[in-house]
Amino acid sequence: MSGHTTFKVGGKADLMVYPGDAEELGKVICMLKDEGLPFLMLGSGSNLLVSDEGLRGAVISLKEGFRNIEIADELTIDCGAGLSLGVLVNFAAGHALSGIEFLSGIPGTVGGALWMNAGAFGSEIKDVIASVSFADSNGDLKNIGINDLPFSYRKLDVDPRCVVTGCRLVLEKGDESIIREKIRSYATRRAESQPLGRATAGSVFKNPPGDFAGRLIEDAGMKGVHMGKAKVSEKHANFIENTGGASARDIFELMRKVAAKVFESSGIQLEPEVKIVGEGLGPWQ
Ligand SMILES: Cc1cc2nc3c(=O)[nH]c(=O)nc-3n(C[C@H](O)[C@H](O)[C@H](O)COP(=O)(O)OP(=O)(O)OC[C@H]3O[C@@H](n4cnc5c(N)ncnc54)[C@H](O)[C@@H]3O)c2cc1C
């Protein structure tokens, strides 16, 4: 899995499946259910910490069969869960549709962004969603409107055995050059504040209510602290960098150390934003 995650860590998965369409996905889900095998949905692996022992069961990627994108009507876009956010943002800009510029620079897929309710610069993906399509635990497809979707901070609280297959976005008419300028300004802000180009998974901890995990970590004196080859970023304290050859265990133990120090100095219990998966990494708390 180290080749499929932005942290560049993670042992072997037993099986990787790339369903080509919804029918194949449905069959895969049913087959795995019949065999009693678990599965993990993989987007771009940009919010995942996979253990060194790897993953039992199957990993399902929608990056081959679910990358459709089209204008549904004047202001709406339909797209597949395996599409990268960069392609989506660029497509919208090219059609002078505004509202998702904030997603530029998030290195995930549409499916991963919906699952995580990805957000930046004061907006979240839920703000621009009309509906999300899913395959349920029997492989049957369903479409759910925004009013019935339980989005919250970095979370879409649906049955964890559901698979997001795509969504409909509702945007606003804009001016392409202004949209592209906004995308450039967000990119500049990211480059100034985040260790881009390093092996990270973005923010490792959620921001506690009314505060910032990065500020608490910095105040706890943890910036630049190492565990093996994992290091708390000097540029953004809520990022952990794999400086080359880190194990998932290094990252996990560094996260625990950071959380313990923050608790000691502020009394605040940080909660991981990255999804910790696979065998071998002990429970978080
Ligand atoms: C440099 C950098 C900057 C980042 N900046 C931001 C930011 O500004 N804001 C932000 O919110 N995040 C940010 N992230 C984190 C990450 O990119 C987002 O959480 C992203 O939405 C994850 O998408 P993914 O496709 O990589 O999902 P993955 O990491 O592959 O998966 C994340 C979770 O979603 C589940 N999942 C993925 N696809 C599906 C699907 N089709 N159906 C059901 N479940 C699915 C996975 O099982 C897992 O639980 C950043 C990461 C990096 C490395």
Q: In the chain, what are the domains? A: 13-61 (3.30.43.10), 69-192 (3.30.465.10), 196-277 (3.90.78.10)
At residue 199, what is the residue type? A
pLDDT of residue 127: 98
Distances (CA, A) of 159 to 116, 150, 152, 166: 14, 11, 14, 16
CB contact burial 155-166 (16+ within 10 A = b; e otherwise)? ebebeeebbbbb
Q: Give the DSSP letter of residue 234.
A: S
What string of pLDDT tens digits covers the 285 residues of the chain?
999 999 999 999 999 999 999 999 999 999 999 999 999 999 999 999 999 999 999 999 999 999 999 999 999 999 999 999 999 999 999 999 999 999 999 999 999 999 999 999 999 999 999 999 999 999 999 999 999 999 999 999 999 999 999 999 999 999 999 999 999 999 999 999 999 999 999 999 999 999 999 999 999 999 999 999 999 999 999 999 999 999 999 999 999 999 999 999 999 999 999 999 998 997 887
Residue 283 CA to residue 251 CA, distance in Å, equals 14
Q: Is 273 among the residues known to form the active site? A: yes
Furthest C-alpha separation in the chain: 53
Give the residue among 225, 228, 237 at the shortest CA–CA distance from 200.
Answer: 237
Cβ 183 under 6 angstroms from ligand 1: no
**Given the DSSP bridges, would you call strands 55-61 and 13-17 parallel, antiparallel or unpaired?**
parallel
User: What pLDDT, on the 0 to 100 scale, is given for residue 126?
Assistant: 98
- Considering 2, 44, 203, 247, which one is annotated as catalytic? 203
Phi/psi at 31 (nearest 5 deg)? -60, -45
Is the pTM higher than 0.85? The answer reads: yes
- Ligand 1 pocket mutation, candidates 46, 110, 207, 240, criterion most atoms within 8 A of CB: 46
- Ligand 1 atom 11 nearest Cα: 118
Residue 102: is it exposed, middle or buried by C-beta count within 10 angstroms (0-12/13-18/19+)? buried
